[in-house]
Amino acid sequence: MNDPRDFIAHEAALLDERRFDDWLALFADDGHYWVPLLGAAQADPFSHNSLAYEDRLLLQLRVERLKNPRAHSQHPASHSQHVLQPSRIEEEAADEVRLRTPFLYVEARGDDQILLSGTARHHLIRTPTGWSIREKRIDLLNATRALPAIQLFI
């Protein structure tokens, strides 16, 4: 999977298949998952809050929690569907690449379904075994508005 655009599609598919351990393994040791509260308008994760700003430790915590039978909010379990537009390469260097991928995200649980839209921005680095995520940033279209619970990973 040399083309980073294939990697983006693969990453979303792992989430939609609930293969969370495999998904987490795509992150670099210093990798972050970031959903800024201001969406695309936010410059950094420190001066303003975020819906999520997680390192591998916190992502691992989420993944482990989802496996626990007493994760009450997962009865019934949530499922996601990422609908991706083609990824566009923003920047490319020898061992890293930045891409943007507009998406629709549907999360369904029981009779309820939520729909989110925005742009995913990936910063990938090349490792001996393939691409790895240094940052996955999700700029939601309506990030500042009141939201219902988002249970899985956008």
Q: Which of residues 82-141 bind another protein (CB under 8 A)?
A: none
Residue 18, sorted as left (phi over 0), alpha (psi -120 to 50) or beta, turns out to be left
Establish how many alpha carbons lie within 13 A of residue 99's alpha carbon, considering only the half-sphere containing its beta carbon.
25
Do 96 and 63 contact (CB within 8 A), yes or no? no
- For the bound state, the minimum distance from the C-beta of residue 6 to another protein, rounded and expressed in Å, comes to 27
- For the bound state, the minimum distance from the C-beta of residue 55 to another protein, rounded and expressed in Å, comes to 8
> Which range binds another protein by CB under 8 A, 20-28, 71-79, 88-96, 117-125?
71-79
Task: Determine if 43 is a binding residue for another protein (CB under 8 A).
Answer: no
| Nearest in space to 153 (alpha carbons), one of 84, 107, 94, 91 | 107
The smaller minimum CB distance to another protein, of residues 43 and 93, is found at: 43
Size of the site for another protein (CB under 8 A): 32
Task: Determine if 77 is a binding residue for another protein (CB under 8 A).
Answer: no
Q: SS3 for 143? A: coil
State the amino acid at position 75 in one-letter form: H
| Nearest in space to 99 (alpha carbons), one of 129, 80, 125, 130 | 125
> Which of 61, 83, 115, 141 is close enough to bind another protein by CB under 8 A?
61
> Which of 2, 29, 43, 46 is close enough to bind another protein by CB under 8 A?
46
The smaller minimum CB distance to another protein, of residues 103 and 131, is found at: 103
| Nearest in space to 125 (alpha carbons), one of 116, 136, 115 | 136
- Residues of the shown chain interacting with another protein in the complex, contacts defined by CB under 8 A: 35, 37-38, 46-53, 57-58, 60-62, 64-65, 68, 70-73, 75, 144-151
